[in-house]
Amino acid sequence: MDIALFGASGSIGQRILKEAHNRGHRVTVIARNAGRIDGVPAVKGDVLDAFSIAAAVEGHHVVISAVGPRPGEDPQMVPRAAAALIEGVKEAGRLKGNLPRLLIVGGAGSLEVEPGVLLLDTPQFPREWKAIALAHRDALEIYRQSDIDWTYFSPAIFIEPGQRTGKYRVGGDQVLMDSKGQSRISAEDYAVAMIDEVEIPKLRRRRVTIAY
């Protein structure tokens, strides 16, 4: 598969890039500053500009967005990026006659802890994470209203670098807990789940959550 990847320099993006490469996929890294990311040449592209996105992803089968705000950047860049990615992917499809799929690294804050109650609205949710969680929630609604082929991957509550086991569970809009009452996933196994979906699409036009 030909994959266009935004956000390859981030913690999760790095692992998605590695997983895709290890499985033999061709990955084009797209970044604001062309150069090299993890030894891979990067093509210049702006995730907030639909025309820039279209030019960069034209001809690819799948577009993966692992972008997030840089330190000090307004978290609202996340929903702005969502709108630009949708339009950019549609424009790329018009140019090439083949509409790429869009897979998104999302947030966990918009998951439900019980019917109608979002994780980000619980008293235990860290205040310092609230703004970015709200931004990811808003972006999810933008994807839901679009007419493209998208999949939004919410991680477990806790996601961090760890071991690649190749094992994970897929849920929907509710937080997934393990047998110990924990919601967690390694960044490596989250990447496994995403590239599995690249190879065998099963989760089209929906939000899913990935956890152990």
Domain limits, the chain = 2-211
Other Cβ atoms closer than 10 A to 164: 15
Q: What is the rounded CA–CA span in Å between residue 151 and residue 148?
A: 10
Q: What is the pTM of this model?
A: 0.96
- The runs of H, that is alpha helices, within the chain are 11-22, 50-57, 77-96, 130-144, 187-199
CATH class of 2-211: alpha beta
Q: What is the rounded CA–CA span in Å between residue 198 and residue 158?
A: 23
In the prediction, which pLDDT does 39 show?
76
What are the angstrom distances between the C-alpha of 14 and each of 131, 155, 208?
A: 24, 16, 21
pLDDT, tens digit, for every residue of 11-63?
Answer: 999 999 999 999 999 999 999 887 777 778 789 999 999 999 999 999 999 99
The one-letter amino acid at 124? Q
In the prediction, which pLDDT does 61 show?
96
Q: What is the mean pLDDT of the chain?
A: 96
